Amino acid sequence: MKKLLLLVSVFSLLVSCMQAERNCTDFKTGKFKFEHEVDGVIKTTFFERNDSIEIETYEGKTDTASIRWVNDCEYVLTKLNPKSMAEEKAVNIKILSTKDNSYLFEFGIVGMAQKQRGTATKLN
């Protein structure tokens, strides 16, 4: 029993020490693709980001948002020309991990507890 407890403790310590790779600065600027499923259909969003502006194209419609960086791995998007009350709400985006030319991120409306996750792929 003592050996099992020791083994579980050591395993827990090792797992808790592992950190996901986060080279967020590699993804601050560039052209990206984000694929997500809506009602069983894969939809694709393309966006280009520089340090202060993100231009997004989804289903033939283009929107522009300002970017406020919280830190190297987290930023807030605010649409520049919202067309509805829902579009006026800022979106918080946090990069959780990076790998090669893609990153896993979590996003949600600022102030709301509900978050979603997605993966974006850098195109250039």
* Per-residue pLDDT, 21: 76
Beta bridge mates, 46 = 33, 57
The CA-atom distances, in angstroms, between 16 and each of 19, 20, 73, 94, 106 are: 8, 11, 20, 20, 20
Task: Give the residue carrying structure tokens 């990153």.
Answer: 103
* Per-residue pLDDT, 19: 57
Q: For residues 48 and 32, is the Cβ–Cβ distance under 8 A?
A: yes
* Per-residue pLDDT, 10: 45
* Per-residue pLDDT, 20: 65
* Per-residue pLDDT, 95: 97
* Per-residue pLDDT, 15: 45
- Alpha-carbon span 88 to 102, nearest angstrom: 28
Q: What is the mean pLDDT of each run of 10 residues along the chain (124 residues)?
A: 46 50 91 92 94 94 96 96 92 96 95 94 92
Q: Where are the domains of the chain?
A: 20-122
* Per-residue pLDDT, 22: 82
* Per-residue pLDDT, 38: 86
Fold of 20-122: Lipocalin (2.40.128)
